[in-house]
């Protein structure tokens, strides 16, 4: 019997596979298709203090080996997420989940994280300082070490639960941002968010997305994500939730060898709602094939 279990900042996970924020709704929607209790955990859709309608449509553009999204943090606001949405999820899922918090000011991050910290059922607080689809917030905090430090420190002060800062790949040196988050008191790091991109419609000769630009994710970004997980693992030695293009059990093993303790799966769920289930079911066979007894034992093993 192979051992799939891992531990993220003291939280035991049956396996490292977690649906990524924004690509799995609030989780309970997927309980119609399979028993979601097989998942290691679930990252909730990105949440802000106030309800947000998100960007104008179209906000999805297909690409070879991936997609662009410019959803723009559509959500009903922190109180509805931690109230109604989490309550619906708890009816069908019994493990600790990951809150994903976004903001347009340090104060908003702090407010939302403090609420998440007091909410039963939230195990980890993932702080998104890397959303490329909103103006004056999101990614602007995660592309400079000073502001990444400032947000981390502010949420650290109000959180007893583990804080994972979610990093942007749209930077020259991701290790510099990772180090700033560690200085600010982060318990771990989530990476990567989407890569800024765009597409044009040849008929209209204009951008496909109403927002003009969007975030690229899916298999196309896997090698970039893997490289960043590798570099950040060497640079800061904090636990890492690795993501970006993961769509198979082999990808999970590769991410963990590069340094991830757990792995999130985003775009793959949009193509195939059973993606996480199929990955979890195939993991033991892939581990056996490559002579791996325990996933815990391979974290950072390629270094
Ligand atoms: C439609 C969509 C919505 C997303 N919304 C969020 C979000 O609200 N918060 C966040 O931190 N990341 C969000 N992401 C980014 C993913 O969580 C993930 O970091 C990224 O897509 C890379 O993983 P993937 O290649 O497996 O999709 C979103 C991604 C997609 C495709």
User: Tokens 């790091």 identify what position?
Assistant: 189
Sheet holding 66-69, edge to edge: 60-63, 66-69, 214-217, 195-197
pLDDT digits (tens, 9 = 90+) for 59-113: 999 999 999 999 999 999 999 999 999 999 999 999 999 999 999 999 999 999 9
131 catalytically annotated = yes
pLDDT at 132 over 90: no
- Of ligand 1's listed atoms, the one at least distance from the Cα of 20 is 17
pLDDT value of residue 139:
76
| Band (134; pLDDT cuts 50, 70, 90) | confident
| pLDDT band at residue 168 under the 50/70/90 scheme | very high
Ligand 1 center from residue 19 Cα (angstroms): 10
Task: Give the mean pLDDT of 234-258.
Answer: 98
* DSSP string over 194-228: PEEE--EETTTTEESSTTS-EEEESGGGHHHHHHH
* CATH number assigned to the domain with residue range 6-55+73-197+223-298, chosen from the 4 options 3.40.50.300, 1.10.10.10, 3.20.20.70, 1.10.150.120: 3.20.20.70
Pick from 35, 65, 69, 71: nearest CA to 251? 65
Give the separation between CA 19 and CA 41, rounded to whole angstroms. 7
Pocket of ligand 1 (CB under 6 A): 20-23, 45-46, 69, 71, 73, 100, 128, 131, 166, 193-194, 217-218, 221, 243-246, 265-268
Instruction: Looking at the CA of residue 221, tell me the nearest atom of ligand 1.
Output: 25
Q: Locate the domains of the chain by residue range.
A: 6-55+73-197+223-298
Taking only the tens place, the pLDDT of each residue in 13-63 is 999 999 999 999 999 999 999 999 999 999 999 999 999 999 999 999 999
Asked if residue 302 has pLDDT above 80, the reply is yes
pLDDT in tens, 180-226: 999 999 999 999 999 999 999 999 999 999 999 999 999 999 999 99
143 neighbors 170 (Cβ within 8 angstroms): yes
Q: What percent of the chain has pLDDT over 90?
A: 95
What atom in ligand 1 is closest to the CA of residue 191?
19
Distance CA 101, CA 98 (A): 10
- Phi/psi-derived region of residue 205, left when phi > 0, alpha when psi is between -120 and 50, beta in every other case: left
Residue 42 Cα to ligand 1 midpoint, Å, equals 13
Closest C-alpha to 218, from 39, 20, 30: 20
Q: Closest by alpha carbon to 243, among 65, 8, 18, 4?
A: 18
The catalytic residue among 131, 159, 181, 276 is: 131
How many Cβ atoms sit within 10 Å of the Cβ of residue 166?
27
pLDDT mean across residues, the chain: 97
Which parts of the chain are beta strand (E)? 6-8, 11-13, 17-19, 60-63, 66-69, 97-101, 122-128, 163-166, 188-191, 195-197, 200-201, 206-207, 214-217, 240-243, 262-265
User: In the predicted model, is pLDDT for residue 177 greater than 80?
Assistant: yes
pLDDT at 137 over 90: no
Q: Which of 71, 217, 225 to mutate to test the pocket of ligand 1 (most atoms within 8 A of CB)?
A: 217
Q: What is the pTM of this model?
A: 0.98
């Amino acid at each position: 019997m192979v051992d799939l279990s891992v531990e993220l900042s003291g939280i035991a996970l049956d396996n490292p596979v977690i649906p990524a924020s924004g690509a799995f709704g609030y989780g309970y929607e997927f309980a119609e298709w399979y028993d979601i209790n097989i998942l290691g955990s679930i990252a909730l859709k990105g949440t802000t203090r106030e309800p947000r309608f998100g960007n104008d449509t179209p906000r999805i553009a297909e690409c070879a080996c991936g997609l662009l999204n410019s959803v723009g943090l559509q959500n009903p606001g922190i109180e509805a997420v931690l109230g109604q949405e989490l309550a619906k999820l708890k009816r069908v899922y019994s493990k600790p989940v990951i809150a994903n918090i976004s903001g347009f000011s340090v104060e908003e991050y702090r407010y939302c994280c403090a609420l998440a910290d007091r909410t039963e059922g939230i195990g980890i607080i993932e702080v998104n300082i890397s959303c490329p689809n909103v103006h004056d917030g999101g990614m602007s905090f995660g592309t400079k070490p000073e502001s990444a430090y400032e947000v981390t420190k502010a949420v650290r002060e109000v959180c007893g639960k583990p804080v994972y800062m979610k990093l942007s790949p749209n930077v020259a040196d991701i290790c510099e941002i990772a180090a700033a988050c560690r200085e600010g008191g982060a318990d771990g790091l989530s990476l990567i968010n989407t890569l800024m991109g765009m597409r044009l419609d040849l008929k209209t000769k204009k951008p496909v997305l109403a927002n003009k630009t969007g975030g690229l994710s899916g298999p196309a970004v896997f090698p970039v994500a893997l490289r960043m997980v590798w570099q950040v693992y060497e640079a800061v030695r904090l636990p890492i939730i690795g993501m970006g293009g993961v769509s198979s059990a082999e990808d999970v093993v590769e991410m963990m060898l590069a340094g991830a303790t757990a792995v999130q799966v985003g775009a793959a769920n949009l193509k195939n709602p059973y993606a996480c289930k199929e990955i979890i079911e195939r993991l033991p066979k892939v581990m056996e094939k490559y002579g791996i007894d325990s996933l815990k034992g391979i974290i950072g093993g390629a270094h």
